[in-house]
Amino acid sequence: MKRVAELLIIALAALCLSSCGKSFKDIKVTSCDVVSVSPKGLTSFDAELNLGVDNPASQITLSQMNATVKMDGSPCLYLTADDVTVAPRTEQNYSLLLHGLMDSNFNPFTLLSLIKQPDLSSMTVDVRFHGALKSGIGKDFEYNDIPLKNLLGNL
């Protein structure tokens, strides 16, 4: 009987984790606006984004969010974000606080040239985060080499 209970718990955990993954696929970012950017010295900054999110699924908390922006395959910017909880079955705006740090080997003047001519074709982003349902069951997600041009084009 104990063995059956253990197998049932394992099966339920697997079902919840796969459900959690399916829930994330249903969530859509509908808008993204930069509210503010505050430089913190020469190589770091804080930024506030206003994200529109359509969540037809259950409540989800995103934590341990970080990203690496790369230009021509070399890291240029490291980003982390504060945790955010997305309400269930709603479409609403969320404030997301980002903290950025420029890679020490990256030339900051290259970013300035992107302001004049925004060619994002050589830029990609690696994203990692932990998503958890209200029950606390969660899963780590990782997406690598997403073209930044495609990502920003979907917002």
Q: DSSP labels for 112-128?
A: HHHHHS---TTEEEEEE
The pLDDT value recorded for residue 49 is 86
**With contact defined as beta carbons under 8 Å apart, do 70 and 76 qualify?**
yes
Chain segment 40-93, per-residue pLDDT in tens? 988 898 988 888 889 898 898 999 999 998 988 999 889 999 999 999 999 999
Q: Which whole number is the average pLDDT over 15-28?
A: 57
Q: Are 97 and 81 in contact (CB under 8 A)?
A: yes
**Mean pLDDT, residues 27-45:** 86
Tokens (6 digits) for 121: 């074709």
What is the pTM assigned to this prediction?
A: 0.74
- pLDDT at residue number 11: 44
Domain 2-153 CATH class label:
mainly beta
What is the residue extent of each domain of the chain? 2-153
For residue 117, the Cα-to-chain-centroid distance in whole angstroms is 26
Q: How far apart, in whole angstroms, are the C-alpha atoms of residue 69 and residue 113?
A: 16
Give me the pLDDT at residue 114, please.
Answer: 66
- Positions of E strands within the chain: 28-39, 44-55, 60-71, 74-81, 84-86, 90-102, 123-133, 138-147
